[in-house]
Every structure is written in structure tokens, then in C-alpha cells.
Structure 1
């Protein structure tokens, strides 16, 4: 292999990469908060006994799960401003696109967690006279969240990685900055290698934590 690696050109680009990393983390964090909160409410809608609530929620989940995330991002960035004739900040638009995508996947994770709540616990809520909202937030949500936590965290890692897709619509995230540096310096191999290592360093600790949580849950079940 005759290629000579040269990372020296990145010495003066650390500030740009850090700024891009900041945007990436903002996108991922905001989208995860949105997905965690809205995902649970969407889960409740999907499991509603009323069809006029359940069907739109199911359609939302299937749409975002069955269409490419890249297509969703492009649609949000170019079609929504045309429809509402109003400019929305690119980062806010990125959070909206990524957050709604994550909401759909988290809703399914929550649904599995809700279905795992023992029926006896729900019967006890009725016997204690708890109101539906009290039963939902004090009994169902904690147990569903605990059961779904590994999947929710895995989905969060996926959103961090999918945030790189906003580079295609010129949001100055880590991937967009890397693309600019690679084009200017004609060093795509070094640039994308460094960026890949950054994403890996961000994702690996969360991935290992997911494995730890899964092992503890499996151990608790086998007791």
C-alpha cells in the first residue's frame, strides 16, 4: 500500500471539528429527549381502545419506521417550508426530523414494556382506586421504562449516528465539517477516519452500558 497517512493538516481544524461535534451532540440530545417523551405518549395512543386515536398513531409509527431516515430529513427541510411558507432554523428542523423518527421507534419499545407489566399490578391499581393517569404515570411508566431501557438506549445510539444525515442539507454538524475539510485538503481518508473514531468513542460507552443493563435484567428474571 503506497498511501502515506498525514494527519498534520487537522492541527488547525480542531476548532471547526469541535464546533461540528457540538452541533451533532445538540441534535442527538434534543432528538433523544423528544423521542423519549413523545414516544411514551404515542405508545399510549397506539394502545388506545378508541380507533380514531389508535389508527392515526399506528399510521405515524408505520410511516416513520417504513421510510428512509434520509428521505424524512430531506422532506422536512425542503417540503415543510414550502407548505407553511415559513423559514425554520436548520438545527430545529433537524431535531424535529430526527426526534419524530425516534419517537416512532421508541413507541414500539415502550409498547413492549407496557405489555410486560403484570396484570396483577393493574388490578391492584383498580383496587386502590387510582385514577387512569395515576396508574399510567406511577405504575405503568416506571415498569415500562425499566423494561424498554436497553432498546431506548440502542435507539438513542442510532439517532446519534443518523444525525450525520443532516449534512446532506448543509447543517454544519460533525459530518458536514468533515466533508468540507476533506474537500479542501484532499485528505478524505484521514478526515473520515478521525470522524469515525469520534462517533465510535461517543457510541461505545453507551453500547457497553446497554449490555450491562441487559445482563442485570436477565439476572433479575432468572432469580
Structure 2
């Protein structure tokens, strides 16, 4: 192979700027997904079909369609259909946040169903109304049980932020594509980008593994 590697020709400045945008997208999307995923899970578990069915349709739409299609739809169809014009960054956050919200809702739903009946009975004995039982018993228990899955989903959305590059959000992948074109060094550029994604994702994955092992020990 006659290719000569030259990593020094790749400037990390633009990649750093792109990484900051990627992290901003990730944090904002996770806030939406973590906060709104729980009430969405409650809607899915509602006994009333007019409440439950739209929530289930929302979740299944985001779980059963590619994230790239969702992002493109938000960027191009929402302005045309609803005459709503938002910045590309805002659209990216909404698309990724709603996607994560759907996946987190399923994680919350499984955790809610696993709440011991004895805890709910204790809440009833203490005179707590349904809202209070949800806030003081179900929510804390479900969140603790869901943390490994929420972190895993958070890693996934961090990686999926690369998709917003196709709609000109200047994230890490967008900057990498631009830099690779300017320097004619795609191998070096995308190798560095892969290492950046790995450096951010790997520690979080280790935390997830630790939490899962700790939970198994507590349950055994």
C-alpha cells in the first residue's frame, strides 16, 4: 500500500467546534427524552383508549422508522405543512429528542410495571392519592431501575447526532466531511472522528455495565 498517513495535516480546531455542537445536541435531546419519556409512559399505560392509542402510535412511529427519515421530515416537511420555521439546530434537537423520548418511554414503562405492588399498597395505606403515589413512589423507583437503559439510549442518541450533518447542522460529522474535502485526507479525518466518538461513548458504556452488575448483585 503506497498511502502515506499524515495526521498533522488535519486541524482539530473545526472538529472541536463540531464536537461542541454534537454535545449540545446530545444534552438537549437527553433532557427532552428523560423528562418527557416518563409522562409518555404513563399515557401508554392509561386505561382510556383515546389517551393510550395516540401515545402508542407516537412511540411506534419513532421506534419503527429510521432516525434519518425523521430528521429529514422535521427539516423539510414541518415548515411546509405547518408553516413553522425554526433554526436547524432547534429542528435537530426536536427530532432527536422526540426519538429518544419514544425509546425512553418504553424503558420507563417496563420499570413502572416492575414496581412492587407492596410499595403501592403502602402508599394507599398512608393516604396518598394517585398523583402522589406516582410522584413519590412510582417515579423514583422507575427512574432508578431505568438508569442503565437511559444511559444506553443516551449513548445511542449521541452517535445518531451524526445524521444531522445531512441537513447542514455543523456538528462533528459535518465538520469532518468539510475538513476531509478541504485537506484531501478522509482516512485521517474520519479516523480521528471515530476515536472522538469512541472516547465519549466508551466511558459511559462502562458506567452502564457497572450499574447493571451492581443491580444484579442487589437483586441476588
1:5 corresponds to which residue? 5
2:58 corresponds to which residue? 60
CA deviation map 1:12-64 (0-9, x unaligned): x3221111111000000000010001100100000011111100000001000
Structure 2 CA distance for aligned equivalents of residues 92 and 77 of structure 1: 10
Structure 1 CA distance for aligned equivalents of residues 84 and 158 of structure 2: 27
2:84 corresponds to which residue? 86
1:70 corresponds to which residue? 68
Q: How many residues align?
A: 220
1:211 corresponds to which residue? 209
| Deviates most, 166-175 or 13-22 | 13-22
* Pairwise CA distance, 1:134: 1.1
* Pairwise CA distance, 1:146: 1.1
Structure 2 unpaired stretches of 5+: none
CA root-mean-square deviation: 0.8
* Pairwise CA distance, 1:127: 1.1
- Runs of 4 or more, structure 1, over 2 Å off, are none
Map 1:23-62 to 2 at 5 A: 23-62=21-60
Within the candidate set 159, 162, 182, 1:161 is matched to 159
* Pairwise CA distance, 1:137: 1.2
2:129 corresponds to which residue? 131
* Pairwise CA distance, 1:139: 0.4
Structure 2 CA distance for aligned equivalents of residues 8 and 152 of structure 1: 38
Structure 2 length-normalised TM: 0.98
